[in-house]
């Protein structure tokens, strides 16, 4: 079972996803969506932040991997970044839906997303 963690970060509010796979054929990774160089098109990034709040779910490796593939495809084909509409929080929420979790359709703050997920899903840890 993969450990999938959705985080809100310290400093500038940001949301990111960490996937810690159990199966060694998959590589553990951080993924997120942030503004690109021209602040119009977004880009998917693989890096970590200082974690302020987080929620972790146990998911089957293949489900987490499939969700990561789909979210990369979705946000690469249409990379338009719009704060409050199509941003890091909507990226994390869409990823959660691909994983089969209940996630908000309206955009929240990074911490609001963590709270929403904790109310409507079974989780392993909440910090």
- pLDDT, tens digit (0-9, with 9 covering 90-100), for 44-59: 665 656 788 999 999 9
- The pLDDT, as a whole number, for residue 36 is 65
Cβ atoms of 97 and 103 within 8 Å: the answer is yes
In this prediction, residue 42 carries a pLDDT of 59
Residue with tokens 């969506």: 33
The pLDDT tens digits of the residues spanning 62-72 come to 999 999 999 99
Interatomic CA distance for residues 120 and 39, integer angstroms: 33
Predicted confidence (pLDDT) at residue 85 exceeds the cutoff of 90 = no
The domain containing residue 6 runs over which residues?
2-126
Distance (Å, whole) CA 71 – CA 91 = 7
**Count of structural domains, the chain:** 1
């Amino acid at each position: 079972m993969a450990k999938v963690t959705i985080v809100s970060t310290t400093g500038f509010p940001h949301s990111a996803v960490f996937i810690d796979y159990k199966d060694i054929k998959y590589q553990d990774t951080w993924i997120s969506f942030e503004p690109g160089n021209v602040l119009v098109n977004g880009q998917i990034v693989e890096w970590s932040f200082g974690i302020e709040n987080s929620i972790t779910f146990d998911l089957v490796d293949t489900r987490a991997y499939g969700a990561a593939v789909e979210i990369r495809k979705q946000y690469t084909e249409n990379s338009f970044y719009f704060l409050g509409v199509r941003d890091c929080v909507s990226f994390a929420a869409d990823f959660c839906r691909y994983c089969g979790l209940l996630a908000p359709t309206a955009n929240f703050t990074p911490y609001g997303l963590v709270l929403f997920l904790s109310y409507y899903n079974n989780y392993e840890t909440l910090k």
